[in-house]
Structure 1
Amino acid sequence: MLYQRSSALFQDAQKYIPGGVNSPVRAFKSVGGTPIFIKKAEGAYIHDEDGRAYVDYINSWGPMILGHTHPDVLNATVEQMKKGFSFGTPTELETEIAQLITSVVPNVDMVRMVNSGTEACMSAIRLARGYTGRDKIVKFEGCYHGHSDSFLIKAGSGAATFGNPNSPGVTQGTAKDTLLAEYNNLDAVQELFAQNTDEIAAIIVEPIAGNMGCILPNDGFLQGLRDICDTNGTLLIFDEVMTGFRQAMGGSQERLNINADIVTFGKVIGGGFPVGAFAARAEIMNHLAPLGPVYQAGTLSGNPIAMRAGLTTLNLINNDREIFSRIDNATEILATEISKIFKEKGIANHINRLGSMMSVFFTEQNSITNFTDVTKCNHEIFNKFFHHLLTNEIYIAPSGYETWFISDAIKDTEINKTLDAVRSFEF
């Protein structure tokens, strides 16, 4: 049995942890089978409790852009730990990382550090509402901005409509202030603004979606959102928890040349530690306490260990901008060659890719541009593909609705191992 110890650990975990996991997708419910338990990681590989090493294409769902346990980040973090774990007071590190972020990210003057992407997006929405004096927000079906109540909303009837709660515990009162539209559908957004004149505080969007698989914005979509916001006095929020410091040093704003009003960060910004942030122009950020009336606080916000790991990671990337071309090139090779192999095998597929993010969809469709398109893909084939790769020591996200994240540790050896595994896949 390949996963004997992982299976035993999962049985134990289910006695004490709901579903045996602390984040639902880890439970393998989408793909079936038993999740593998990881013991350690280094470079391009994660190692399970049964002693097997896997080429890692989730990289902790995005943060490990340098690969696992990069020695510079590790050494800096250990040195910081010797000075103390948490102070609950200001530190110079917080200013240093904020200075770096504002120097490389377009259209932001100030940063507030938090502890997760969920907290960053939740706080950004509150700030947008406080700044505009409006209550409603627009989000897009298939985009995930964390598990705050305002974001756990599903579609109602019609193409653009009021949302309904999609989780018990989310009230109808909260849901009524979240309006839902189809990703890449500007007409749906225009309709919402026509129905809710002067009521919408913000549009929040993943500029490159990563939570329904990698979905790219159509030409003109993000600029159209920018124009709608400008016309209506609404703030545009880019959720760059996945894309920040991964698509470019300045994130999707830089790569796609579209400025948002508020930007949220996570993943890479913490170098593998639990860190999030939101940033905006000073006129917006000045509405935050203690300067303004919009309250947000956190005991562990700006934790010195997390700040040191994040700052070291960002400095390494900033001082070696070629990392983006390297990981883009590795991802392009993977996408191109996997698609070619499947074509030769007669397996219908479509691969979306931008930068170091990609998704393999098993489908006859010529394009995948929104959540509905993804639901129409053949997830049975994906599930078999996932387990085939796992057996061949390649680890991708255990869901057809997720994204591959390529790190700088992925080199020719790992790419060739991956392509060999793909060649042996039969359905």
Structure 2
Amino acid sequence: MTISNDLFTRAQELIPGGVNSPVRAFRSVGGAPFFTKKAEGATLTTADDKELIDFVCTWGPAIHGHNHPVIRDAIAEALNNGTSFGTPNPYEVEMAELIIKMVPSVEKVRMVNSGTEATMTAIRLARGYTKRNKIIKFAGCYHGHVDSLLIAAGSGALTLGKPDSAGIPEKLAEETIVLPFNDLSKVEEAFSNFGDQIAGIILEPFPANVGLIFPTDGYLQGLRDLCTKHGSVLIFDEVMTGFRVSAGGVQEHVGITPDITTLGKIIGGGLPVGALGGKAEIMDHLAPLGPVYQAGTLSGNPLAMAAGIASLKLLLEGDAYSRLDKMGKQIASAIASTASEIGLPLQVPQVGSMFCVYFSEKRVDTLDDATATDTDRFNKYFHTCLEKGVYLPPSKYEANFISTAHEQGAIDRASEILCETLREL
């Protein structure tokens, strides 16, 4: 028995499913998960001393790879002054200044402790600001495990085959209108029926918890226009795409400004963090200025803020984004070319440092399209790549990530393995 198998056996006796986040259990792809004992740069080292080129990057935060010396030093310096204060600290102000500088929609920002907490607060704020109850979300967009948003969700919920969770009251679910992504007519119909009841729309502007889906031409602008017309709040969940697609996220990339943006992952530099920001008029409805209550003992934690500040500053230096996009294009092009060469039906959507692989003949625009892709072929692909030393997300519903720590040699080697595996399929 391997060390990882032994650890997983022990973990299953102590932790539900043996994991502390469902998709880690490998239920979608089959088999048992490996355990990691060390991560450095773009490489994971398993408990059994196998080295893997990592395209999961802790599910997004590690845009500079693992254990980056600048981020590590920033944490160490902050640690010298304490782990948590329970009072405002200077790092919070610097982080707020950086986010407001980089993200077009953000005039004021509130730090929280996770992406889930950020979306939960954004929904509460939209309802408190508009004095309305209904929220529109889209099938396949995952916004954390918030009761009113864990309905037709993506990512782990799909991986487990349970897009809805037990424990969510029907009355609460009734306040959430779930629509297909990329169908503006359905949104127009919802506003026609419930316009004066809709507090807002929340979406991943590039859904990345169902693989990687791009909006069709005019779709995001259409949502912006409908929210403006009906006095509803447009919320972009950029926990995944924020600071990855560009320094200002998808909203900068496409030139469309939401009312509220939720953030996370990269702004913690690998430590737990989340944030929401937006128009000052809306944000000032949060306590202590306004009637919408939100609080958190560890919000703005100095260690997380120091790590996140270091991470963001590294992105603003040099040519980080052009390098990431070049690597993303190289991998996507290699995979697509190989698939075309051997006649394998395949889609490889890619933007910047994000990409995914859909085994499908047609472009994937919706959750139904993603669900219809070839699961068995993806699972074989995942396991073969893992055996050869490349770690991809263990679910066809997840995006792959590239970091600035991926050297050209690792990208070349990974491309070779990914293409070699396609030929074997």
Amino acid at match of 1:368: V
Unmatched runs of 5 consecutive residues or more in structure 1: 156-163
Partner of 1:344: 341
Shift of 1:346: 2.4
1:341 touches 1:422 (CA, 8 Å); kept in 2? no
1:186 alignment partner in structure 2: 184
Name the SS for the 1:154 alignment partner.
Answer: coil
Q: Give the alignment partner of residue 323 of structure 2, picking from 322, 326, 346.
A: 326
Amino acid at match of 1:339: A
1:188-227 matches, within 5 Å, as 188-227=186-225
Q: Secondary structure at the match of 1:326?
A: helix
Asked if 1 retains the 8 angstrom alpha-carbon contact of 2:118 and 2:275, the reply is yes
- Give SS of 2:406's match: coil
Out of 98, 101, 104, the residue aligned to residue 103 of structure 1 is 101
Say whether residues 1:272 and 2:259 are aligned partners. no
Cα deviation for residue 419 of structure 1 reads 2.1
Is the Cα–Cα contact under 8 Å of residues 80 and 308 in structure 1 kept in the other structure? yes
Choose from 284, 287, 290 the match for 2:285: 287
Tell me how far 1:389 sits from its aligned partner: 0.5
Q: Where does residue 143 of structure 1 map in the other structure?
A: 141
Equivalent position to 1:176, from 174, 197, 218: 174
**Is the CA contact 1:165–1:175 (under 8 Å) kept in the aligned structure 2?**
no
Of the three residues 224, 243, 246, the one matched with 2:244 is 246
Q: Which residue of 2 aligns with 1:231?
A: 229
For the Cα contact (< 8 Å) 1:165–1:171, is it kept in 2?
A: no
Equivalent in the alignment of 1:68: 66
1:363 aligns with 2:360: yes
Task: Work out the CA distance in 2 between the residues paired with 1:270 and 1:424.
Answer: 36
Contact 2:105 2:261 in 1 (8 A): no
1:395 lines up with 2:391 in the alignment: yes
Q: What do you get for the CA RMSD once the two structures are aligned?
A: 1.3
Secondary structure of 2:307's partner? helix
Are 1:330 and 1:411, in contact at CA under 8 Å, matched by a contact in 2? no
Identity of aligned residues (%): 51
Alpha-carbon separation, structure 2, partners of 1:242 and 1:394: 22
Q: CA deviation at 1:364?
A: 1.6
1:42-70 alpha-carbon deviations (Å, 9 max, x no partner): 11111100001111001001111111111
1:353 aligns with 2:326: no
Q: Secondary structure at the match of 2:53?
A: strand
**In structure 2, do the counterparts of structure 1 residues 200 and 278 end up closer, same or farther at CA, with 3 Å as the change threshold?**
same
Answer whether contact 1:357 1:403 (CA < 8 A) is retained: yes
The AA in structure 1 aligned to 2:355 is M
Corresponding position: 1:381 with 2:381: no
Amino acid at match of 1:91: N
Q: Secondary structure at the match of 1:424?
A: helix
- Residue of 253, 256, 261 corresponding to 2:254: 256
Cα distance in 1 for partners of 2:164, 2:103 equals 34
Q: How many residues align?
A: 415
Residue aligned with 2:195, SS: coil
Post-superposition offset of 1:82: 1.6
One-letter amino acid of the counterpart of residue 242, structure 1: M
Residue 120 of structure 2: aligned partner: 122
TM-score by length of 2: 0.96
Q: Structure 1 length as normaliser, TM-score?
A: 0.95
- Whether 2:84 is the aligned partner of 1:86: answer yes
* 1:362-409 deviation digits (Å, cap 9, x = unpaired): 1121x1111100111101000000000100110010000110011111
Partner of 1:21: 19
Who is 2:295 aligned against? Answer: 297
The amino acid of 2:215's aligned partner reads P
- Cα distance in 2 for partners of 1:131, 1:37 equals 45
Q: What residue ranges of structure 2 are gaps of 5+ in the alignment?
A: 154-161
Shift of 1:418: 1.2
Contact 1:358 1:404 in 2 (8 A): yes
Q: Which amino acid aligns with 1:329?
A: K
Following superposition, the deviation at residue 139 of structure 1 comes to 0.3
Can you list the C-alpha shifts for 1:293-350, whole angstroms capped at 9, x where unaligned? 0000000000110010001111111233x21111011000000001111222222111
CA offsets per residue over residues 55-104 of structure 1, 9 Å max, x none?
10010011111111111000110111121111111001101100111112
Instruction: Report the residue type matching 2:48 in the other structure.
Output: D
8 Å contact kept, 1:131–1:287: yes
CA distance in 1, matches of 2:16, 2:50: 26
Q: Secondary structure in 1 aligned to 2:356?
A: strand
Specify the SS of the correspondent of 1:197. helix
- Give the corresponding residue for 2:157: none
Q: Distance in 2 between matches of 1:67 and 1:392?
A: 20
The equivalent of 1:161 in structure 2 is: none
Q: Which consecutive aligned stretches of 4+ in structure 1 deviate over 3 angstroms post-superposition?
A: none
User: Structure 2: how far apart are the matches of 1:119 and 1:107?
Assistant: 19
SS at match of 1:351: coil
